Amino acid sequence: MANVARGTQRRTDALTRERIVTVAIELLDSVGEGGLTFRALASMLGTGHGAIQWHIANKGELLTAATEAVISRALAGTDPHQAPRDAIRALALGVFGAIEQHPWVGGQLTRPPWHATMLDIFELVGRQVRALGVPIEARFTATSALLVHIIGAGSQQATNSLSPEAENDRQEFLDQLSARWADLDPQKYEFTRSIVEQLRVHDDRVEFLAGIDLILAGLPQTRC
């Protein structure tokens, strides 16, 4: 009995919170939030529910930890000493890429009340907004606008990537969508038809950064 207890303790000790979160991310990437269960996680880890719950109490805590791990990893390479505009663009691309790679992250970040990781992003963007010389009365609006674009565009890109039409070949998907737009009613959709070629050849990250630059260009400043 003592030997069994010691063996169980060794298995529990070897099962770290970091390992659980890593496998949870793999599970979320493959089957989404609906497929993340402690039963499935225990099976992948080769352990029992109790051993997992020794480190993480419930699914909500697990989702929070997984989201934090993904975003922390994405932002680890950003340089805090960059010029403010460059820092915002780098941060934005990091989050965009993380949501693109892990489509479930966008939904977790925006789930009310605000996810703690969302507040971390808000803080990082806000510091750079302040460094740009944006007046204090405009900082909340400026930071919020940037955050909405970063998370919103990233989540939309993740949704697009999950579309059955886009699953296999992005360019084929864009070609087909462009063809449908080109066949729209020329009076009702005059503008939409006019940018069909831009839709067909656009680069998602370039367009994403263009949105960031448009917001930055409109920010009020009190100094350079």
Q: 52, 43 in Cβ contact below 8 A?
A: no
Domain span including residue 211: 79-217
Confidence at residue 164, expressed as pLDDT on a 0 to 100 scale: 53
Q: What is the pTM of this model?
A: 0.82
List the CATH number of the domain containing 1.
Answer: 1.10.10.60
Q: Give yes or no: residues 41 and 151 share one domain.
A: no
86-109 pLDDT tens trace = 999 999 999 999 998 999 998 888
Q: Give yes or no: residues 108 and 197 share one domain.
A: yes
Q: Give yes or no: residues 36 and 107 share one domain.
A: no
Query: What whole-number distance in Å separates Cα of residue 143 and Cα of residue 126?
Result: 5
Positions in the chain short of pLDDT 70? 1-13, 113, 160-168, 222-224
Q: 109, 151 in Cβ contact below 8 A?
A: yes
Q: Give yes or no: residues 86 and 29 share one domain.
A: no
Domain count, the chain: 2
Q: Give yes or no: residues 140 and 50 share one domain.
A: no
In a domain, 33, yes or no: yes
In a domain, 65, yes or no: no
Q: Give yes or no: residues 172 and 139 share one domain.
A: yes
Confidence at residue 115, expressed as pLDDT on a 0 to 100 scale: 74
List the CATH number of the domain containing 160.
Answer: 1.10.357.10
Confidence at residue 1, expressed as pLDDT on a 0 to 100 scale: 40
Confidence at residue 8, expressed as pLDDT on a 0 to 100 scale: 44
What secondary structure does DSSP assign to 73-132, as a single string? HHHTT--TTS-HHHHHHHHHHHHHHHHHHSTHHHHHHTSSSPPHHHHHHHHHHHHHHHHT
